[in-house]
């Protein structure tokens, strides 16, 4: 546990500093947005690109990692849709947002720092298999579910445009594609270029965690707290349990891959949960509350998981 706390406490400490910064006058909304854009569009792509070029993941790429994660995630999604309708009497957009909150993980701002801190670049290889299409797949599904419930005005054509735009503009997909092409072609990295990429990649962890805290500083716990707590609890406990069982029993994963798949599923909810709810004006306060509750609870649940896998 001492080793685990040495990993987890600095991570959540940086998130706490981000919360403090986000509540101060030093980081207005425009500054937080700028920092978040730097992380998502510059630092994270640099880290993923460096990982691919160095690790040569095509030599031992295991797609079972993705199959295990997405099978478990879709199982939780289906159960959450039924649970939300049957127990909480949710309908349409509310039902979709509740389901999304139970299984959409914060893979970029929190997943990359935790996996990298615990397992280094070796852990980023299976994580990369998961996150390449994570936001694209699930965001498209939840936009579609909202539109099926006629909760918003994005429409089917709008959903298709959003999906297409996500493919060609998603910085993770671009970084992974360029990294694989660079690796296959055998291009080297000249000294100055390698240094620039290293500097950007090394900035990813602290910048991502501080940005996450600064974003969460704008949220507050409000609305239906019991529903938000159930969402967070499912995300932190049910989702990783289902993914772990699927990965352990149905697929051939190494110990490292099994750990990364389960820890990724155990991450608190991603900011996209709130953003999609906000775009439709449905379930907004409960979505925001679930992210705050889940991130705080993740300090405990992720510590337990990391200790168990260690």
Domain boundaries of the chain, sorted by first residue: 2-309
Residue 37: count other Cβ atoms within 10 Å of its Cβ: 12
User: Is residue 235 very low, low, confident or very high in pLDDT (cuts 50, 70, 90)?
Assistant: very high
Lowest mean pLDDT among 187-191, 223-227, 266-270: 187-191
| pLDDT at res. 88 | 93
Q: Output DSSP code: residue 267.
A: S
The Cα–Cα gap between 173 and 201 comes to 16
The Cα–Cα gap between 240 and 111 comes to 13
Q: Are 266 and 302 in contact (CB under 8 A)?
A: yes
The Cα–Cα gap between 44 and 49 comes to 9
Residue closest to 123 by CA, chosen among 51, 70, 210, 176: 51
pLDDT at 63 over 60: yes
C-alpha 41: how far from chain center: 15
User: How many Cα atoms sit within 13 Å of 215 on the Cβ side?
Assistant: 25
The Cα–Cα gap between 22 and 1 comes to 30
User: Average pLDDT, stretch 229-252?
Assistant: 97
Which secondary structure element, helix H or strand E, spans residue 301, and what is its range?
A: helix 284-309
> Which residues face 105 on adjacent strands?
269
User: Average pLDDT, stretch 288-300?
Assistant: 94
N residues, the chain: 310
Lowest mean pLDDT among 152-161, 238-247, 248-257: 152-161
**What value, to the nearest 5°, has the Cα angle with vertex 188 and ends 183 and 194?**
105
Share above pLDDT 90 across residues of the chain, in percent, rounded to a whole number? 59
Tell me the CA distances in angstroms from 66 to 44, 58, 78, one per residue in order: 20, 15, 18
User: Average pLDDT, stretch 50-78?
Assistant: 88
User: Is residue 152 very low, low, confident or very high in pLDDT (cuts 50, 70, 90)?
Assistant: very low
Q: Is domain 2-309 in CATH 3.30.360.10, yes or no?
A: no
Name which residue leads in pLDDT, 73 or 189. 73
């Amino acid at each position: 546990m001492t080793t685990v706390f040495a990993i987890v406490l600095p991570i959540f400490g940086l998130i706490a500093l981000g919360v403090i910064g986000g509540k101060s006058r030093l980081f207005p909304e425009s500054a937080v947005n700028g920092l978040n854009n730097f992380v998502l569009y510059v630092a994270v792509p640099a880290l993923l690109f460096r990982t691919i070029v160095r690790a040569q993941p095509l030599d031992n790429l295991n797609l079972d990692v993705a199959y295990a994660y997405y099978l478990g995630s879709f199982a939780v999604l289906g159960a959450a849709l039924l649970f939300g309708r049957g127990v909480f009497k949710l309908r349409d957009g509310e039902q979709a947002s509740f389901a999304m909150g139970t299984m959409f993980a914060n893979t970029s701002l929190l997943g990359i720092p935790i996996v990298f801190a615990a397992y280094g670049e070796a852990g980023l290889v299976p994580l990369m298999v998961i996150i390449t299409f994570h936001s694209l797949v699930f965001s498209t599904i939840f936009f579609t579910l909202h539109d099926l419930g006629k909760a918003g005005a994005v429409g089917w054509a709008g959903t298709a445009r959003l999906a297409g735009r996500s493919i060609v503009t998603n910085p993770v997909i671009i970084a992974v594609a360029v990294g694989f092409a660079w690796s296959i072609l055998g291009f080297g990295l000249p000294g100055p270029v390698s240094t620039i990429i290293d500097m950007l990649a090394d900035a990813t962890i602290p910048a991502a965690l501080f940005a996450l805290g600064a974003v969460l500083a704008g949220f507050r716990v409000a609305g239906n707290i019991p529903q938000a707590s159930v969402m967070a609890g499912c995300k932190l406990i049910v989702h990783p349990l289902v993914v772990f069982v699927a990965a352990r029993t149905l697929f051939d994963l190494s110990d490292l891959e099994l750990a990364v798949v389960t820890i990724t599923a155990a991450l608190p909810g991603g900011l996209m949960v709130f953003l999609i709810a906000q775009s439709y004006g449905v379930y907004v306060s409960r979505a925001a509350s679930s992210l705050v509750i889940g991130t705080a609870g993740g300090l405990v649940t992720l510590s337990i998981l990391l200790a168990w896998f260690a």
